[in-house]
Amino acid sequence: MAVTSNNIANAGTPGYSKESVVLSAAAPQSNGTASVGSGVNLIATTRAFNQATSNQLNSSQSSLGQLNGLQGYTSQIDNIVGTTAGGISTALQDFYSAWSAVANTPTSAATRQALIGKAQSVADSFSRISSQLNGLNTDINTRITADVQQINSIGASISKLNQQIVVSTAQAGGSPPNTLLDQRDKLVSDLSSLIGVSTTTDTNGALNVFVGNGQPLVLQGTTTTLTTVGNSFNSAQLEISSSTAAGNVISSYITSGDLGGLLAARTQAIQPVQNQLGQIAIAFSQAVNSQQNAGLDLSGQFGANLFSVGGPTATASSKNTDNTSVAVSIANVGALTANDYVLSYKAGAYSLTRSSDGSTVALSGAGTAASPLTADGLSIVVSATPAAGDQFLIQPTAQAAGSFAAVLTDPSKIAAAGAVQTSAANGNVGNATISSGTVVNAANPNLLNTTSIQFISPTAYSVNGAGSFAYTAGANISLNGWQASISGTPAAGDTFTVKSNAGGTGDNRNALASANQQTQGILANGTISINGAISSLITGIGSEAQQVNTAQAAQSAVNTQAQKNVQSVSGVNLDEEAASLLQWQQSYQAAAQALKIGSSLFQSLLTAVQAA
């Protein structure tokens, strides 16, 4: 009855296993003719416990812990980036609309000022999202530190319990100290929701706990603590290390539990979004700036950059043995990807691997300034031959979104006008006309030179008074970085002029081209528009969050089932206890009755003797 009462009292205690008494009939006593039982002996109090179901629950809890940790971040990203109001989409749409407004009234200071404002808000939304993602990274660091502390303190408690269990098992002559075992199992269960563990039990009852790929956390009565160390490429990014092998990062082996979830959130949820966002920022900024540079502003100068964006970064590993540095630049925006890479130098050769999946990327070039290493749109120059085993982390786009800024503040410096203008002389007799002219290479130093095209006959023309070129109606004439076409029938002596469009402040060709970039393919070798990239980013984030949500829901169900299994073995069912209480009550009553009858028999005997 004491055991049953204890069961009832602990019905709600987490980790408590139902206990039951083991009884056995006492050895019979023989009276010469027959053996008569001599009652009952209490052998032991055992706890209902099944190691297999308990292990199942622990591993299910590790998986659930991982998904819970991950889900916390995927759903935050889902909310931050996913909702269009807080997103870049709206800002970009406004930006392109502002370009259209400038195209409609190129000389209006108001529309130009509005464009500057919209450019600012595009930059703000990029950097806001980026800093929110960075905030998540900081949050992960804090939680990793907290998790590691908790894991270490649980490890210490387990090793203390180990010592107590070994001692009390020896004292009790082998009978198990149920309460201590329950407490220890509860701690292991708590631990497994923080980090995936595997356990072994020694013959003396002590439990050994291992994490990661076999790093010991608890061995008998000693604890090996986990520590956090800065990533070799980025000291601000915390990694997990075991104190047995100081400096040995075991993060990649920790794939389950809350800690596993945090590490996964960093590499699966935050970094890819940060990189993709950066990729979009770089492509967008380059497209806008190069269009700006190809046109003329209100004062007839080439347009200044509208945005500035951080370029690729290369970080040497803290384990590198020399001071070789690596400079990375973007050779081709269209070929740029959202991956991070690790450049390694081994056995006299460079190799480049993608961080996300470890696959090797083909490299060409020698790594010198004259012949840089090139891969995936990047151009890599190494300062000197590195020491063998040196590694460099190359992040082409990770820093871009965070450093994205609108740098143009003077509305008059917006290049709405095309760089060149064309004209036909009023004295022309033929009916030929010249197209308005487009810039094909804004870098040509002679772009703004005045060029006169004079027809020496209806079928041939000279350029600036020299040469004779065959005339084809409608064909493009290219010179000095511009391109224009003459069509119709010219007469000898007809003259056309191509010159700088300085003063053409009402021109909107460059503004139109900028507005039209909205639908142009810019990323992935010119196949994906900026908005397309954002749409796929949104879909990607949504899918990731959805996938984690689904997995989390499924794992919850698995976990519930595992809990049920454990409870079905170890849990306290109050009805059952009530029944066994009744059973004990009845035995007690029966025994009392037996005693009473015995007593009354004895009384009868005494009465008979007295009466006799």
Site for another protein in 23-52 (CB under 8 A): none
Return the residue of 178, 320, 581, 584 that touches another protein, per CB under 8 A.
581
Of positions 491, 595, 605, 606, contacts another protein by CB under 8 A = 491
Among 540, 551, 558, 584, which residue interacts with another protein (rule: CB under 8 A)?
Answer: 540
Instruction: Please report how close the Cβ of residue 573 comes to another protein at its closest, in angstroms.
Output: 5
Residues binding another protein: what is the number (CB under 8 A)? 77
Q: Which of 96, 302, 341, 455 binds another protein (CB under 8 A)?
A: 96
Residues near 362 by Cβ (< 8 Å), separated by ≥ 6? 375
Q: Can you tell me which of 575, 608, 609, 610 binds another protein, judged by CB under 8 A? A: 575
Looking at the Cβ atoms of 71 and 162, the one nearer to another protein is 71
Of the candidates 454, 458, 453, 468, which has an alpha carbon nearest to the alpha carbon of residue 490? 458
By the rule CB under 8 A, 421 interacts with another protein: yes
Cβ neighbours, 10 Å, residue 575: 7
Among 197, 380, 424, 432, binds another protein (CB under 8 A): 424
Q: If binding is defined by CB under 8 A, does position 592 make contact with another protein? A: no
Q: From residue 323, how far is each of 342, 351, 390, 393 by CA, in Å?
A: 17, 19, 10, 14
Quote the CA–CA distance of 34 and 27 in Å, as a whole number. Answer: 13
For the CB of residue 204, give the shortest distance to another protein in the complex, in Å.
Answer: 32
Single-letter amino acid, residue 388: A
Enter the tokens of residue 477: 């004439």
Out of 359, 423, 603, 604, the only residue in the binding site for another protein (CB under 8 A) is: 423
Binders in 192-231 for another protein, by CB under 8 A: none
Binding of another protein by 301 (CB under 8 A): no
Specify the residue for token string 């009790």.
Answer: 172
CA distance 104 to 428: 32
Q: Which of 53, 66, 89, 480 touches another protein by CB under 8 A?
A: 89
User: Measured from the CB of residue 568, what is the shortest distance to another protein in angstroms?
Assistant: 5
Return the number of the residue (100 or 403) whose C-beta is nearest another protein: 100
261 exposure class (CB count in 10 Å sphere: 0-12, 13-18, 19+): buried
The stretches of 250-324 forming alpha helices (DSSP H) are 257-264, 271-294
Tell me how far the alpha carbon of residue 19 is from its chain's centroid. 46
What amino acid is encoded at 61 in this protein?
A: Q
d(CA 120, CA 126): 10
**CB nearer another protein, residue 110 or residue 443:** 110
Alpha helices in 479-528 (DSSP H): 509-516, 523-526
- The dihedral of CA 435, 527, 283, 383: what is its sign? negative
By beta-carbon proximity to another protein, the closer residue of 108 and 379 is 108
Site residues for another protein, 104-133, by CB under 8 A, read 104-108
| Closer residue to another protein in complex, CB, 96/284 | 96
Binding string, 436-455, against another protein, x = CB under 8 A? x-------------------
d(CA 161, CA 157): 6
Binding-site string for another protein from residue 56 to residue 75, where x marks contact by CB under 8 A and - marks none: ------------------xx
Measure Cα distances from 100 to 123, 189, 251, 514 in Å.
19, 62, 50, 8
Site for another protein in 499-518 (CB under 8 A): 501, 503-509, 512, 515-516, 518
